[in-house]
Chains A and B, each alone.
Chain A
Amino acid sequence: MNLSVTWDARAASHLLSRTSFGGTLAQAEKLAARALPDAVAALIDVAKEAAPPPKPEWVKEPWVNTERVYPETTPMERMENHRKTGQRHAAERDQLRCWWLDHMARTAAPFREVVTLFWHGHFTTEARRATIAQALYEQNAKLRKHALGSFRELLGAVALDAAMMMYLNMEDSDAKKPNENFARELLELFTVGIGNYTERDIKEVARALTGWTLDAPPGTAKRPTVADAPRTFCRDGLVPTFVKDKHDAGAKSVLGKSGNFGANEVLDIVAAHPATARFVSAKLIAFFGAADPKNELRDRMASKFRQTNGDIATTLGVLLTAPEFYAKESRGTLIKSPVHLLVGTCRLLNLDATFTPSLAQVTAAMGQELFNPPNVKGWPGGRDWISAGTLAVRYHLPEALFDGKQPDGFEPLAGDRNFALPADEKARRDLLARIQAADRQRKESRKKDGFKVTFDAAKAADGTDPTDAGKLVRALVAKMLAVPPAADALAALTDAVTAVPAAERAKLACRLILTTPEYQLA
């Protein structure tokens, strides 16, 4: 590997492609005009100073549980409250996805969102198990707040967090029966990693974390719910609250240290452990994409992480100025995540996009539903993004973005049978006809919301004159592709674009470039 950095516009373009959902040539040239350390410092500073996006309007202070069951709640009311609450949460989760994607597409500090997305895949929570959208929003706000700050503070914020506590069963963990779910993932996936702890450590950490639950804000008057109701039906709030009586205050031994530990002491121990520095550094390298065959970059990052007590921005600074990051082996070799692909396309082509649930669902169809990673390990990334099924969705992206057309294949084949149909032939046929009509109507109303994206040829091509098709294609290819296309592919693109009238050329060129294998790479 050649480990000297040639810091030029192409290198700057590589940096933007990995940290900022891509950038224009002008942005890359501007960045390249500064020295590499200054350019990276500026990128980090802009990200650190960025204001958070405004809260979604449905976020309530304090959050109210609308499906609590009181002694006088009738079974019918209970069912109705449960149904309505579930529907509202589902709608809010959709809006949450749209809210984040919209911010990613518009923010002037995209690096902050890219790092937040990294932490979202690290400190995972699955919406299919932690369904309350407000808790997911609050977790997301914490990830963003601490994204480039102190790892220990980030860890503290997401450990005592409503979404995480519901997801990994910390909410009801008490001294009598410590729940080990969070303790296990804390060690295995969030900090030290496999091979650096024992089963005994998990049990001890679980004991130290007992006593935490979710409650209404302090001082709130509470109306008692029925006894023994499941959590969903008696939860009073989303505020992590310590209940001393439920805490195991005895002596524990964690990763070689002993004491009467509680949550804070355990988080101090795991955050400062040398294995955590290595584990987090390696994950950052995989996410941002740098060839590091001998773990030398990882070890330099880990050492900086420890020197700075886990300062994330400084650690990332080592990565983004590293010769390994700019080596040939690291260029154009990262498969874009679905979120990167969608947001990057909107940003790069200056698309005027309203993030509707249909548009947000496109990333799910490609294998990355925000707030709902496949499991507690998050999205594996890399080649796992690509299979025939997900690549086919990527091929349909131009239809959705440029034509506002919902590809048929994004919808299930038909609706579900929610009740048994009558045995009588005529009654059955009548009912089926009604169900099918309702299905059609639902489908149409979903599509009505559809895709609201406007493609503007001049904006997409940064004003390049389409009269010279070859020039237009070269400009778009230079802007959009991290890997230069082969000569015959470029010739084919140019021929195709030349054959249509000037006014349609930019759109056709973008359409074709989006379906190239090169465009899938950052």
Chain B
Amino acid sequence: MLPNIDRRRFLGVGALTATVPAFLAATGRALAADPKAAAGRVLVVVQLAGGNDGLNTLVPFRDDAYYKARPKLAVPRDKALKVTDDLALHPEAGGLRELLDAGHLAAVANVGYPNPNRSHFRATEIWETATPDKEVLTGWVGRYFDAECAGVASPMLGLQLGEKPALAFAHPKGRAVTLTNPSLFEWEPGAAKAMERLNAVRPTDNPQLDFLRRTGNDTLSLSRKIQDALKDTKTATEYAPFNFSQSLKVVAQMIAAEVPTRVYYVSLGGFDTHTAQAGRHAGLIQELSQGLRSFAADLKALGHLDRTLVMTFSEFGRRVAENQQQGTDHGTAGPMFLAGGAVKAGVHGDKPDLANLDEGDVKFKTDFRSVYAAVLKNWLAADPKPVLGGAFDAAPVLA
């Protein structure tokens, strides 16, 4: 915030470093543990942005139709990591297989929804709003916060590491914070005190000014909370030096510090592999797999894995047949992964039926909203119906 010369003087300025006013102490209390959360459980949503190639992630490695459709891109049968008689993981998904073997990972095959949309933009909206048939401006997590967390004071029920706020959190009564990098909340202690003083709450007849002051106070309190969480929490494992892994590391620190956040959101982008897919997709699967393995190991060592559930999604899978550029085009259904506390480990659902396609694409078997329903009902102890705008049977993927 301040260059050194100003900072020293700044820190010496009594007027701006006066005692913390009472209202800030009150804000601090509001940021203490979240008593209403179901047994302190948290959800970590992982977005695989761009459309992950589901067939090369959870591979139908016994199916000749798969090898016929993908002469160049198919995962070789002898390299695939077998998980059931019909399905295997990508060779770079060793971390996911370890999690599965340890009882911490469930895969749900062929997840989608009726009349699939193949535009990144619209399809992402559909998954994030959980509303395929019309455009709405609220996200499913935003609606969950609104329905279930009315009495909880935390301004960061949702915490996203990323640049563009996820639509999943969108709601007129927003309760989520998006940040590229938690260092954003670092400033010199003197400057923070000054800002606290300048944001002192004294109700006026200008509602926008009052709103800015309240948000200013929230921001300053969050900043302390986040800095404390990152400062005091040790990391028990090594994370790869890439953005997704490092984001998971921050999330693990927040979870271990028990900040009042119920849903975290992290993205791994680059899955739109129209050309030269093999190498890039392998790198992405490796990042996903190693990132989640480090994350689970870290939380386990810190004693927080049991209260953490990870759920991955991608806006669509890819076309069954590879294209002319060693890539794949936009498709439809794909797998979701659930990792952590209460999963029913293993693969749920059958292998994709490649003999029975819809215009060259896999037909979905499980509606993604029934996976959301399972997460809401079985994990977050919330009623899925008002959040999802309809009755969906919870998929039997969680204990």
Chain A residues within CB distance 8 Å of chain B: 75, 78-79, 82, 129, 332-335, 364-365, 374, 383, 386-389, 391-393, 395-396, 398-399, 403, 405, 407-421, 432, 435-436, 439, 483, 485-486, 488-489, 491-493, 495-496, 499-500, 504, 507-508, 511-512, 515-518, 520-521
Contact = CB atoms under 8 A, between A and B. Distances in A.
Interface of B is mostly: helix
Given A389-B177, A389-B178, 4 more contacts: A388-B218, A410-B181, A496-B13, A496-B194
7 contacts: A383-B211, A388-B218, A408-B183, A409-B184, A439-B241, A485-B198, A499-B12
Given A418-B283, A488-B200, A517 B3 contact: no
A500 B183 contact: no
Contacts of B285: 420
Interface in B113-166: 121, 155-156, 161, 163-165
Nearest to B325: A75
A129 B280 contact: no
B348 interface: no
Interface string B316-334: 0000000001000000000
B184 A512 contact: no
A306 B269 CA distance: 48
B177 A387 contact: yes
B280 A412 contact: no
A230 to B, nearest CB: 9
Given A335-B212, A410-B180, A492-B198, A500 B9 contact: yes
B219 A392 contact: yes
B181 to A, nearest CB: 5
Given A416-B242, A417-B284, A420-B286, A409 B179 contact: yes
Contacts of B156: 388
A424 to B, nearest CB: 14
Nearest to A487: B202
Contact of A518 (B155, B207, B209): B209
Nearest to B249: A413
Nearest to B212: A517
B242 A496 contact: no
B16 interface: yes
Interface residues of B, number: 76
B187 interface: yes
B240 A420 contact: no
B186 interface: yes
B183 A407 contact: yes
Interface string B192-217: 00110111101000111101110110
Nearest to A402: B3
Contacts of A500: 6, 9
Contacts of A78: 325
A496 B15 contact: yes
Contacts of A410: 180-181, 184
Contact of B181 (A82, A411, A485): A411
A335 B223 CA distance: 22
A393 B6 CA distance: 20
Contacts of A389: 165, 177-179, 184
Nearest to B12: A499
A264 to B, nearest CB: 29
A398 B2 CA distance: 9
A420 B209 contact: no
B216 A416 contact: no
Leading 3 A-B pairs by shortest Cβ distance: A409-B184, A495-B15, A517-B212
B215 A388 contact: yes
Contacts of B283: 417-421
B161 A388 contact: no
Given A417-B287, A420-B92, A421-B286, A521 B212 contact: yes
Nearest to B2: A511
B209 A517 contact: yes
A183 to B, nearest CB: 15
A504 B242 CA distance: 41
B164 A486 contact: no
A496 B208 contact: no
B286 A417 contact: yes
Contacts of B280: 418-419
B7 to A, nearest CB: 11
B398 interface: no
Interface string B253-296: 00000000000000001100001100110111111000000000
Contacts of A383: 208, 211
A386 B6 contact: no
B180 A365 contact: yes
Nearest to B243: A414
A495 B194 CA distance: 11
Interface in B36-75: none
A492 B3 CA distance: 20
B185 interface: yes
B186 A409 contact: yes
A129 B121 contact: yes
Contacts of A499: 9, 12-13, 15
Contacts of A335: 208, 212
A517 B199 contact: yes
A491 B2 CA distance: 21
B181 A388 contact: no
B211 A386 contact: yes
B241 A435 contact: yes
A82 B275 CA distance: 11
A489 B197 contact: yes
A412 B5 CA distance: 28
Contacts of B198: 485, 489, 492-493, 512, 515-517
Interface string B336-353: 000000000000000000
Contacts of A511: 2, 6
Nearest to B9: A500
Given A388-B222, A417-B287, A508-B6, A483 B209 contact: yes
Nearest to B275: A79
Nearest to B207: A333
A32 B244 CA distance: 55
B10 interface: yes
Contacts of B155: 388
A387 B170 CA distance: 12
Given A392-B179, A409-B180, A416 B270 contact: yes
B174 interface: yes
A386 B242 contact: no
A333 B208 contact: yes
Nearest to B16: A496
Given A512-B194, A515-B194, A396 B187 contact: yes
